Amino acid sequence: MRTAGTTHSKGFTLVELILTVVIAAIPIFAIGTLLVGAQKGWQDSYNAVHKEIQQDALATMTTFGSIGRQSNRSNYKVYRIFKGSFIEAVPKVGETLATGQAVEMHYWRDPAASLDLEVLEITNTGTHFALFYLEGDELKVDFGDVIDGIGAVSGGLRTARSVETQVLAHYVDTSHDEIFSHTVISGKGQGSVRMNLILEDDDGQRVEVKTATLLRVVWPQ
């Protein structure tokens, strides 16, 4: 029985409708925020890996390690660069660590030649050279032929011959320029060359390249 003057509403009131829309919008907004954050995180990660500074770091480590493993530990030098002259680095008195801005390695371009005694004459300590060196804020490497036992440097100067030059890294932090080091005992290098290089690009991103390569070939023995 209905009481006179009473009515029953069929459907939602405006307030209920607004509350429903607001409640439904909350998870949609949250999901959207997560998607935007995930996209930005992915983009940041992609940029961090594929930026030029990261590519330079990878190229530097790969080339340095590859050449070092092919090189002759009996004939390599770490240099200090002073006004364009390459001076062999020596440890300070009482120390064994020599540091510098360049390193020259001699190697056989054909890896099999390092095991071929018909190729390895007693005076042949490598057929090719690689000179890694700091020039301005770039790390470069020169590749060339060893001629009459002379490689990249002669008389303190780079030899005037045709070479292939590659820029391995840009944006080198030159406040830390003694990037190559090795241990010297009784005047003889021990065959493990370390690299400690800091790169910093225009965006302020810094990458520290710390690696070492062991020169494996020993000739003459």
**91, amino acid identity:** P
More confident residue, 49 or 94: 94
Residue with tokens 């440890």: 91
User: pLDDT at residue 116 above 60?
Assistant: no
Percent residues over pLDDT 70 in the chain: 80
Amino acid identity, position 100: G
Q: Give 22's contacts (C-beta < 8 A, 6+ positions apart).
A: none
Which of 33-37, 94-98, 178-182 is the least confident region? Answer: 33-37
Is residue 1's pLDDT more than 50?
Answer: no
The whole-angstrom separation of Cα 56 and Cα 58 is: 5
Of the candidates 53, 65, 156, the one whose C-alpha atom is nearest the C-alpha of residue 105 is 65
pTM for this one? Answer: 0.76
Q: Scanning the structure block, which residue is given the tokens 């070492």? A: 212
Question: β-strand 188-200 against 180-185: which pairing, if any?
Answer: antiparallel
Q: Is the pLDDT of residue 16 over 80?
A: no
pLDDT of residue 91: 96
Could you tell me the CA-to-CA distances from 30 to 27, 43, 76, 130 in Å, in that order?
5, 20, 61, 56
Q: What is the pLDDT of residue 143?
A: 95
Assign 125 a pLDDT band (cuts: 50, 70, 90): confident
Pick from 15-29, 124-138, 185-199: least confident:
15-29
Cα-to-chain-centroid distance, residue 104: 18
In 58-179, beta strands by DSSP E:
71-82, 85-88, 97-100, 102-107, 128-135, 138-145, 153-154, 157-158, 164-169
* Tokens (6 digits) for 35: 């998607």
CB atoms within 10 A of CB 94: 5
Q: Tokens standing for 66?
A: 């590859």
* Tens of pLDDT, residues 47-76: 555 589 999 999 999 999 999 999 999 889
3-state secondary structure of 210: strand
Which residue carries 């007693």 as its tokens? 122
Q: Which two tokens stand for residue 202?
A: 């225009």
85 vs 12, residue with greater confidence = 85
